[in-house]
Amino acid sequence: MDPLSIKGAYLFSPRIHGDKRGSFHEWFRHDGFVETFGQSMNLAQANASTSARGVLRGVHFADVPPGQAKYITCVTGAVLDVVVDLRVGSPTFGQWEATRLDDQNRRCLYIAEGLGHAFLSLEDGTTVVYLCSEQYNPGHEHGVHPLDPDLAIEWPSDVEPTLSPKDAEAPSFVDAQRTGLLPDYQGCLDYYAKLGMTI
């Protein structure tokens, strides 16, 4: 796994074995995860979403603790996947990093607890699957508006975004910080240490 510029986000590029029948790859390996983080990822839930071109999901995050770490890949189509550092006090607070995940490169993205996550579907019928360290808990799940000019995420200009009503009504980055909605960086670090994770 290769670290991104935001601490707690990693990109994994699997080795793809292909022949005339198709291809095979390992998109998650327990031993590789332990080697990187010192402990296995707790698997509590596995999600799949299928999206038309232009569907924009996020920016989503959860209260820490327990938060919700995610391990994401795109099995059909393509997405622009974005990690946003929403941890108040982090050296990269407010910064984001985008990665293309698609059914050709088969890359995977790991996002630690406390980080924000969003993705834009670039093709009709795009399917994204992800493993989650905690089950969905609606009372502790939050969002920040993905088109907020203060975040200034550079979404592709040739794709018209479609948001769910919930994401369209999400607070701005500034309002989420002002109201104390965002996770605390030191609190996240303490929680990672409690889990035995080396981030």
Check if 185 is active-site.
no
User: Which residues, other chains included, contact 75 with Cβ-Cβ below 8 Å and sequence gap of 6+?
Assistant: 103, 127, 128, 129
Distance CA 9, CA 29 (A): 17
- The question of whether 191 is a catalytic residue gets the answer no
What whole-number distance in Å separates Cα of residue 103 and Cα of residue 73? 9
Which residue out of 10, 60, 145, 192 is catalytically annotated? 60
Active-site hit among 71, 130, 191, 192: 130
* Secondary structure (3-state) at 12: strand
Integer Cα distance of 120 and 56 in angstroms: 4
Which residues participate in catalysis according to the annotation? 60, 130
